A and B are shown apart, each in its own frame.
Chain A
């Protein structure tokens, strides 16, 4: 796994988790909490993001094999999911901010750290697909440790952003958050197209020319 692959994985995971874009939602979900508890929620959701993605990375392909889904078909689906995530981020960044998990009445007492923050916002179908693609490209132990480190860095960065949510939100503002989401969305669309093209070449080798 080259350094370029690792940088691409890191940027993709950060774009998919989009901690900056999720700031307003994080603040809305935790507005009734004290600062100390808000910091704890940030830490727990980042930890859950790391565990989810690391599990998906190491065990995801085995699950696919158990359901006898071919890697090419999975890659096609993963590319499509990442492409559509990117498209939503570019075209309507505010649509992502409208997410409201579950019925407010019943769930209000529970901490939002795991659902909806960690899953599906920080580690959703897109990032799970992305780490599984990384796994089937490079299956050596060294690549595995490298990728796990990348996932850890992405989760740590996410925790850091959520930790300073208040300050960042005031500094960057809604327009800045939206602009960053659009740029990251454009990169995600390119990553999605690359995944799609690769899967199509696996399915129909003649396309590779």
Chain B
């Protein structure tokens, strides 16, 4: 694997991972929490992204084969999830948000949906599996791991910047931004769902 190929892998991954799209979703999912809790979720999510990609690079094809899970089915599932999240974001926020400022913020969205399928979605996982399959050998693995680490750091930066962005925009600005991004997310989700269904029902994709 040449350094050029590694850069190419980085570019295609960063487009698929698309950290900018995740910022409004992240802010919305962690709206109730303090800044420190948000940072903890951001860190967990980025570690999870790195872990998902590393596992995909090392054992991706073997795991999917062992579980008898079609990557197209995973793609359809991720697409449906993103579509529903986007529809939730498009609708006005519920009148009575759970008022629990002091309560500990639920850490669980860090892995699903933030790390998967928002950041490390089926598309980017498929790219990593493909790269690992086309460049065997430990030297290439090392480069792939470097690319993965870079991606995770970019994600971490984006999620940590989310809080300053929120302070800059305020509640109203965030509302506007999240509606706009929800339209994009709706498109991404439906596209993923369509690709998954096309893989599951080959006649549809003809």
Contact = CB atoms under 8 A, between A and B. Distances in A.
B116 A186 contact: yes
Contact of A175 (B74, B76, B108, B116): B108
A106 B200 CA distance: 48
B65 A4 contact: yes
B201 A183 contact: no
A65 to B, nearest CB: 27
A90 interface: yes
A8 B67 contact: yes
Interface in B60-90: 65-70, 73-74, 76-78, 80-81, 84
Given A175-B107, A186-B116, A207-B203, A191 B73 contact: yes
B112 interface: yes
Contacts of B116: 183, 186
Contacts of A4: 65-68
A112 B77 CA distance: 34
A139 interface: no
A87 interface: yes
A187 B202 contact: no
Contacts of A191: 69, 73
Interface stretch (A25-33, A70-78, A192-200): A192-200
A8 B63 CA distance: 11
A140 interface: no
B206 interface: yes
B110 interface: yes
B14 interface: no
A190 B68 contact: no
Q: How large is the interface on B (under 10, 10 to 19, 20 to 34, 35 or more residues)?
A: 20 to 34
Contacts of A179: 107-108, 110-112
B144 to A, nearest CB: 23
A98 interface: no
Contact of A8 (B68, B84, B106, B111): B68
A11 B111 CA distance: 19
Given A193-B77, A200-B201, A90 B65 contact: no
Contacts of B201: 197, 200-201, 207-209
B108 A182 contact: yes
Contacts of A193: 73, 76-77, 80, 196, 200
Interface string A167-209: 0000000110011011101110111111011001100001111
A187 B110 CA distance: 17
A186 B112 contact: yes
A207 B108 contact: no
A5 interface: yes
Contacts of A7: 66-68
Contacts of B200: 193-194, 196-197
Contact of B106 (A87, A178, A189, A206): A178
Contact of B81 (A189, A208, A209): A189
Interface of B: 65-70, 73-74, 76-78, 80-81, 84, 106-113, 116-117, 196-197, 200-206
Given A191-B69, A209-B205, 16 more contacts: A4-B67, A7-B67, A11-B67, A83-B80, A90-B81, A90-B113, A91-B81, A175-B108, A178-B108, A179-B110, A186-B78, A186-B112, A189-B80, A190-B74, A197-B197, A197-B201
15 contacts: A7-B67, A7-B68, A91-B81, A174-B106, A175-B107, A175-B108, A179-B107, A182-B113, A183-B112, A186-B74, A186-B77, A191-B69, A196-B200, A197-B197, A207-B201
Interface of A: 2, 4-5, 7-8, 11, 83, 86-87, 90-91, 93-94, 174-175, 178-179, 181-183, 185-187, 189-194, 196-197, 200-201, 206-209
The 9 closest A-B pairs by CB, nearest first: A178-B108, A189-B77, A209-B202, A209-B203, A197-B200, A182-B112, A175-B107, A8-B68, A190-B73
